Amino acid sequence: MTSTMKSALITGAARGIGLATAKTLLDRGWRVALLDRDEAELTRAVTELGDGMPIVADVSDPAQIDDAWDQVSQHFGQLDALVNNAGIADFGPISDTTLDRWRLVMETNLDGPFLMVQAFTSMLARDGGGAVVNVTSISGLRASTLRVAYGTSKAALAHLTLQQAAELGELGIRVNAVAPGPVDTKLAMAVHTPDIRAAYHDAIPLNRYGHETEIANVIAFLVSDEASYVTGQIVAADGGFGATGIGLPSLRS
Ligand SMILES: NC(=O)c1ccc[n+]([C@@H]2O[C@H](COP(=O)([O-])OP(=O)(O)OC[C@H]3O[C@@H](n4cnc5c(N)ncnc54)[C@H](O)[C@@H]3O)[C@@H](O)[C@H]2O)c1
């Protein structure tokens, strides 16, 4: 099936930043495939949207990615954008981070985007190229306690973004990353205690959490033709968190 409408595949799209990105791209006239491993939540999301193609798959499983590839190929015939948004957070001290916990985080946050880009490169390269956006985190740009697995997975994803940009540019595929600051989603609510929330409000120049649509808008820009000469960039959408130095809260008070 061919169409002049652009098509996007978004992982982890059943809720949060992924769902907001799906809404934003649909609003801008894209055809969107929403991939998630949570079938119930995905069905609810697509029903509410009244649009979009649901794909139930786990991004850490190559066989399920192959099935997803078949579905995208059948429905869209080609692909203009891949948003690797699916991610999990697991906060804990190094001493409590068992190898199983470590691997669980790496499987989704790092293996997933590696496998997805590998699988979809030829489809993205068709018709002159496409765009990939990997969703990293400020936790991958600055280290902090309790994030040994999560922060390391996101820092590795930031570098994977550069590797992919370096190698896939000649195929016309642009690869960038968005590094969100704290955003009020189920993921954040599960790991951000009231103390953490207060500290973030204090440390972020804009003094607030971000909204899902504020991240979605940056992703939508990076996959659009307006970003046609932008590749290999890690764009922080973090209320200025990354711009601040150490000790600012005490200096301010
Ligand atoms: N919320 C924040 O504060 C924040 C900050 C920085 C970065 N991020 C990143 O943004 C992305 C989206 O986060 P969110 O807050 O919207 O999370 P969320 O938990 O609300 O949504 C994540 C979605 O991904 C799906 N998912 C998880 N593992 C998957 C897998 N292996 N295969 C397929 N689907 C899978 C989940 O089912 C869920 O629907 C993540 O990569 C996260 O690390 C979030």
- 178 close to 132: Cβ distance less than 8 angstroms: no
d(CA 207, CA 199): 10
Half-sphere exposure of 148 (CA within 13 A, CB side): 12
Atom of ligand 1 nearest to the CA of 109: 41
pLDDT at 1: 43
Cβ atoms < 10 Å from Cβ of 17: 28
Ligand 1 atom with minimal separation from the 112 CA: 31
How far, in Å, CA of 216 to CA of 22, rounded?
Answer: 8
Where do the domains of the chain lie? Answer: 7-239
pTM: 0.96
How does DSSP classify residue 111? Answer: I
CB 191 within 8 A of CB 91: yes
Mark whether 150 is an active-site residue: yes
Q: What is the torsional sign of CA 87, 93, 98, 99? A: positive
The residue whose C-alpha atom lies closest to atom 22 belonging to ligand 1 is 12
| Bridge partners, 54 (sequence order) | 34
Of the candidates 45, 6, 12, the one whose C-alpha atom is nearest the C-alpha of residue 27 is 6
- What burial class does residue 60 get, using C-beta atoms within 10 Å of its C-beta: 0-12 exposed, 13-18 middle, 19+ buried? buried
**Phi, psi (deg, nearest 5) at residue 207:** 55, 35
Residues having CB closer than 6 A to ligand 1 are 11-12, 14-18, 36-38, 41, 58-60, 85-89, 108, 112, 135, 137, 180, 182-183, 185-188
Q: Tell me, what's the pLDDT at 252?
A: 63
Over residues 45-67, the pLDDT tens digits come to 999 999 999 999 999 999 999 99
For domain 7-239, the CATH architecture is 3-Layer(aba) Sandwich (3.40)
Q: Whose Cα sits closest to atom 24 in ligand 1?
A: 12
Residue type, 129: G
Residue 2, pLDDT score:
46
Using CA atoms, how far apart are residues 49 and 62, in angstroms rounded to an integer?
A: 28
- How much is the pLDDT for 3? 61
Gap from CA of 121 to ligand 1 centroid (Å): 23
Q: Relative to the CA of 180, which ligand 1 atom is closest? A: 6
Average pLDDT for the chain: 95
Residues of the chain under the 50 pLDDT cut = 1-2
